[in-house]
Every structure is written in structure tokens, then in C-alpha cells.
Amino acid sequence: MVRAREIGKGAFSTVLLYLVTQKGKARSEWPEYAVKVIHPDVLAKYSQNISREIAILRLMPHPGITRLVSAFMYHSECYLVLEYAANGDMFDYLQAHSSGLSEGVAKRALGEVLAALDSIHQQGFVYVDLKPENIVITSTRHMKLTDFGGARPYTAEAEKEVEKSRHAVQELRSGDWKYEGSNDGSVKAEVDHFDESELDPTKMEGTTIYMAPELLRGQYPSVASD
């Protein structure tokens, strides 16, 4: 893989664009991936949250959700390899179209986001952190939800699925984590045991200005929170 450039940076992670080299093909034809690099200090403090995000992403096959291709540790950092959305996020798109969107574009975007949310809810999860920055736009102008750090199960069955997803990842040795049985056979990740403390409503993640009132009151999220 060849690092192309940095495409995003936050308090907890940096997102890089990587290209997969392929002999006999022009650089413009090489597959592109967004690689989310989680910093060591964040990993040490939020390992449960990160493993939960990986576990939930493995359970989300919907086309309106960014696909987790791989996850692994390297030099004390955690790497999440995700499909790349070439047209950035909805926040930047709205900034570039400050005069407003056409009705057709708005309807299509809203419909695709709602379809992805409905799929998440049907599986017994809430997304929690819905905001323009977490809606990315593909090269074909389709919308996808990304960043599942705040997602939570809200049914007993979904909680069991998260726990099973975590147990599917076996820790082989320090710094070498492997997952067997992913949708594409390539995911490597750390996953630890399900911790009931993660259901503590006071530990909910999200962006304050977009948070549902019940989350600000310290209540556990529901479908209505999205």
C-alpha cells in the first residue's frame, strides 16, 4: 500500500488515503482506501469503545454504511481500513453549496441516509452521532454513514450479536490480533469481552450540538435519538 495524503484529522484519530499498488495498472486505477489511525494514548483510554466500533461495523453489510475492510495493530496504533468515499463529507458539500441544494439532490441524500439508519435500527442498534461530518459521499454520489464510535445496541439480541462479534476475534499474542470469518475474510482486529459498563448512559459519545435531548440528560439512546 502507498500512502497518498491525509484526508481528515480529529482529537482521537487521523484519516489517511492509501492506494493499493497493482502491477500493470495505472496509478489512477489502483484501489483506494480510507485508513483511520487511532493514536496510542486514545487506544489506551478507549480500547473498549474501539473494539465495540469494530464489532458493530462487522455486523453492518448495508450499502449505505462504509465497509470495514480490515483492522489491525501496528507500532502501538490501531488501524481501521475502510472503503474510501472520494467526494468528501456532507458538511463540506453543504459549505460548497451554501445557496442550497436542489430538491432532487436533497431528497436522494435524505432517502439514502434514512435507508442506512433504518437498517441499523432493524438490527437492534442506534447510531447516536448523526451529523453532516459523518455522512460521506462516494465517487458515484451516493451517501454512506461512517464513524460508528458512538453506536450502541438497544436490544438484548443486538447486545448478544456484539458480544459474539467480539469473541470471533482471537488475540493471538501481544500486537498480533487476528479475526477469522469476516464478510470478506480479511479483517484483523482486537476485540475484548463485552463490558456492561459500556451501557452506562453517562458514557455516551456524540457531538453536543447534534445530540438528542435524552442523551444530554444522561439517558440511554433509543431509535428516536437518531
Q: Examine the pLDDT at 185 and tell me if it is beyond 70.
A: no
The DSSP letter of residue 132 is G
Domains of the chain, earliest start first: 2-220 (1.10.510.10)
- In this prediction, residue 204 has a pLDDT band, given cuts at 50, 70 and 90, of low
163-167, 186-190, 214-218: range with lowest mean pLDDT: 186-190
pLDDT of residue 64: 98
| CB-count exposure of residue 140 (10 Å: 0-12, 13-18, 19+) | exposed
| CB-count exposure of residue 199 (10 Å: 0-12, 13-18, 19+) | middle
- In this prediction, residue 45 has a pLDDT band, given cuts at 50, 70 and 90, of confident
Q: Name residue, grid cell 500486537.
A: 175
Question: What's the rounded mean pLDDT across residues 214-226?
Answer: 81
pLDDT of residue 181: 35
pTM to 2 decimals?
Answer: 0.80
pLDDT of residue 169: 60
The mean of the pLDDT values for the chain is 83
pLDDT of residue 203: 53
3-state helix, strand, coil in the chain (%, to 5): 35, 25, 40
**Mind telling me the catalytic residues?**
129
pLDDT of residue 148: 94
pLDDT of residue 189: 38
pLDDT of residue 93: 96
Q: Cell triple for residue 143?
A: 451517501
- The better pLDDT of the pair 43, 178 is held by 43
Q: To 10 degrees, the CA torsion angle through 145, 148, 149, 154?
A: 120
- In this prediction, residue 167 has a pLDDT band, given cuts at 50, 70 and 90, of confident
Counting DSSP H helices and E strands in the chain, the numbers are 6, 11
Could you report the per-residue pLDDT of 105-152, keeping only the tens digit for each?
999 999 999 999 999 999 999 999 999 999 999 999 999 999 998 899
% the chain with pLDDT above 90: 50
Q: Examine the pLDDT at 84 and tell me if it is beyond 60.
A: yes
Is 36 one of the annotated binding-site residues?
yes
Q: Examine the pLDDT at 76 and tell me if it is beyond 90.
A: no
Question: What's the rounded mean pLDDT across residues 194-206?
Answer: 48
Q: Which residues, listed in sequence order, are joined to residue 3 by a DSSP beta bridge?
A: 18
Q: Examine the pLDDT at 36 and tell me if it is beyond 90.
A: yes
